Structures are given as C-alpha cells and as structure tokens.
Structure 1
C-alpha cells in the first residue's frame, strides 16, 4: 500500500495583507473580517465557488488550492482587477491604519491534498516564497504606494496564461527575480499592478549595476597631495616643440 496518495495538479493562490502586524488588536480583528468578506465577494463576482477552494488560513491572509475545474485564465485575468476595484471603494477616506492592501501570488503544480498539517508540495512552497519575496513587498510599499493590490505570477503562469490569452496586457508585466536568500529560493517571476505599467519601473535590484561610491568633499580634502620639484617642461605654451620652461620650487 502506498505511503501517501497521489498528488494533484492544481492552481495555488496566496494572498497577504500589508502591514497587518502593525495594527492594534481591534484593527486586526476588523481587518480579518473585512478581508474574508472582500475575498468572498470578489470570488462571487467572478462566478467562483469559494467553498470549493481548499483554504489554509493565516491571520493576515490565506493560501488557497483551487478545484480541478477552476479556470486559470479567469483567475489570473480577473481576480486582481476585481480586488483592486473593491479595495479602492473600501479604502476611500480610510486612515493608513484602516486600509487593506493586498499582495497576490499565483502558481500551479503538484499538491498533496491530504497532508496532516497543510498541503505538501513544491508548488505550495513556491507560491509562499513568491508572496514573501522582497521585490513584491517593495512594489506595494515603495514603488506603488497608491496601489491597492499587486500581483506576482510564476514564470509558467505568465508563459501559459498571460502571454497566450492577454486578458492582462503582457507588456505591463515586469520580469523580476523573486528571491529569499535565507530560504535558498530564487526564481524568475512577473509583477503586475492594476492601472500601472510595472514594466517601466526601476530595475529590480538583482539586475542593477553596482553603484560606485563617490567620495565626499571632506574625503576629497583629506586625500594625500603629491608634490613635484624642479619640473622641466617643453612645448608651445610650455609643452611640446622643444620649448623649455624651468620652474624652481614646488607645485601641488
């Protein structure tokens, strides 16, 4: 008898709230309620049966394994724009502490659906690494501070869904390196921000040329000075053509 059941190939989605841990207890409680409601309403608008999603909840988000008949195209093309529209209305007039802003990551692969404490499988590990990658967090926190949601798809999702069907414009995606050095994880991925051109943004850190440090004015003053004595030069205006000039003393 096999030690475990066969894995299933599924679409996996991870969603995470920005700055959840910085909220007070009351705001965390409210954010969890609002997050679930927003996700349920977004799925309903897309015609997706949320109860069929296998969900692993966290306080600040969720991991979801989609059913076998789920449309990858509909999910990738519609979920993020729908969340963006709903969050723009939700966040209108709210303070920074009360806003909900989301990171979304999508991948696909083999998953064991009967794990004792979750869903074993490299696909699940990968989507969790994507959602935690600094390049995705930086997109929401620094590069697009007015965005309500940012999306990262794995390279296979971009190649199979985005590039072929173009429900989201492929030229608005930026290819990035999703990297977590402490987890020995580094994979190419694609970043998308609704109503923005992520491809025109600043280059990801891994591909940027190293910046050469420039000495400060104080450092320049402290550089050693060379001294020359009894210099003999030749030429027009001192140099060349066998003219000569003798200088006794010192030059700095």
Structure 2
C-alpha cells in the first residue's frame, strides 16, 4: 500500500522560498512624475495627465526609440505621471540619448505654452524581474515598487525643486543596479562623472537605497552636494519652502548639535582652535585621542584615535583631510 502523500502546491501559489520556480523575465522600467501636480489648479490636472504620455512618446520618437513606446510593457497612467516596462537591452539608450531628448522636448513644450506653469518631470530608471505574460496584473513586483520609491525619494525631489524652472525640466534618478549595468559597465553614452551618487530615502517609508542622480540641463548651484544636505531639506519643509508635496504649515525640522568635551563648527573657521579637557583632545591643526562623532547634525566615521575619516555627508563648511588636518573651505 502506497503511503498517502498530499499533492504538491502549484509553484505559482506556493509560499516564498518553499518551491523553486523560474524567475520572471527581466525588464527595464521607467516611471515619471510631474512636479507640483497636486498644487496645480484642478482644471489643469486632466490636461497634464494627457500631456505626459504624449511628451514621452514624442521624446522617444525623437531619440530614435519609437519601438520602445510601441512595444511598451504593462503601461499605466498614475494621474500625475506614467510608468511602463521595456526590453532591458535598451536601458543604455533610455539613459542617453533619451533623458537629454526628453529635456529638449519639455523645453520646447514649455516655451510654447506662455502663461501656463511648466511641466517638469522627475524620472526614475530601474531594472529587475517582473511578471510579463500579457496578464492583467503584469509588472507588479519589488522592482516596480522600488522604481516608484526612487521617484518619490528626497534627493530627486530636492534637486528639481532647487533648480531653475526656466532651464532644468528633467531630474532623473537611476537605481544602483541600472547604473552599474549601463553606466559603470560602459554601455551608456554618458561618462560616470555625469552622475551623482546619493542615498535615496523616502519620508515616512522604510526605504533606503544607493542611487544616482542625472540632470541633463543643470542650473543654479546643483553641482554643490550640500543642496542635498539636511539644512537645505529642512528649509524646504518650512513655510515658503519649495519642496513639492509639502504642506505650507509643515513644522521646521530641528537639529540638535552636541559635542561632549569637543567643539562643533558648522560654518567657516579662520585660525586655530584649542580645547583642553581631561581627554587631552586638541582641535586645530591636529586631532588626537578623540573619536569624531557628529558635526552639523551629520555623522563622520573615524577610528577611536581620530586618525581616519570616512564619508562626510551634509553641509559642513569645513574640509577634513587625511583625518588630521582641518582646513577652511
């Protein structure tokens, strides 16, 4: 008599990590959002929703990528934007020339619409496995979720808000995976120095990833990394700030700066500084016997002897070189 055994569950319905199954096909995925959509008069919403996909199609045509629009996978309008999948082999071309072409198309469109607020777009590009069998729920998965999180992340919103609306019409953010495959791999027609590495986080969400900004037409002081610092973001969250999707009455962010037995500088320092305490710390030309903690509300990594400084993030106003010398910027 054969022992009874329950039938194995179908792979599609089995719990994760219980039954091996094929990966979905890899797809490139692009998502765009119009800046300040919710702040525009309601009468303009339908026109923007209609214009965004038309602008995407026109820019792809001009970039020689009309087939990607014709063959787009799981397309969907998000009201203030649009998302679709594409063959990942074309990811390098979606980075360049398409992003620059989209910038040009938006510039022409906005110049031809006097008296109307310009349409400026945030763009995110990612690649990963996504269901694509022609079904109703195709395109849903982690790769798509991450694409939308990147689109809503602090750095790309801040960089577009801080730029000139007369010049910068597009701010793009690439996932680290897209950047490594297409840019660092040498396949995209843009040098890696055109891209700025940023920590992509989303306010109110448990999301934090390494990502890369690309601005086809920079304006203002966008090359200054401090534009992404805590102080800039705090200013944009206060009344009168420019960070989109923030209420005018949002409370300002408070930064508490503390330095036990030490000195904190957030601006320019001329000359030397000396601090004597029980630890024998000396701050000026040399830093000895102290572990560096926080400066300007941001973290600086170093060893217990203060001899090595890792990555510095934020608006510091001073430069620490070789972990020992502190020079005015």
The Cα of 1:26 is off from its aligned counterpart by: 2.7
2:49 aligned residue: 32
The Cα of 1:211 is off from its aligned counterpart by: 8.0
1:220 aligned residue: none
Question: Is the alpha carbon distance of 1:167 and 1:144 closer, same or farther for their aligned partners in structure 2, counting shifts above 3 Å?
Answer: farther
**Selected match of 2:130 from 96, 111, 121:** 111
Aligned residues: 212
1:140 aligned residue: 160
**Selected match of 2:66 from 48, 65, 87:** 48
Aligned 8 A contact 2:95 2:188 in 1? no
Q: Is residue 168 of structure 2 the alignment partner of residue 153 of structure 1?
A: no
Unaligned runs of 5+ in 2: 1-9, 14-21, 233-254, 259-263, 265-329
Q: Which has the higher helix share?
A: 1
Aligned 8 A contact 1:152 1:192 in 2? yes
1:18 aligned residue: 35
Q: Please say which of residues 52-61 and 144-153 is displaced more in the overlay.
A: 144-153
Question: Is the alpha carbon distance of 1:155 and 1:119 closer, same or farther for their aligned partners in structure 2, counting shifts above 3 Å?
Answer: same
2:79 aligned residue: 59
CA distances 1:48-99 after superposition (whole Å, capped 9, x unpaired) = 321311212111111111136x511111111110110011111116457531
RMSD across aligned C-alpha pairs, in angstroms?
A: 2.9
Structure 1-normalised TM-score?
0.74
Higher relative contact order (CA 8 A, sep 6+): 1
Structure 2-normalised TM-score?
0.58
SS in 1 for 2:218: coil
State which structure, 1 or 2, has the greater radius of gyration over its C-alpha atoms. Answer: 1
Aligned 8 A contact 2:72 2:86 in 1? yes
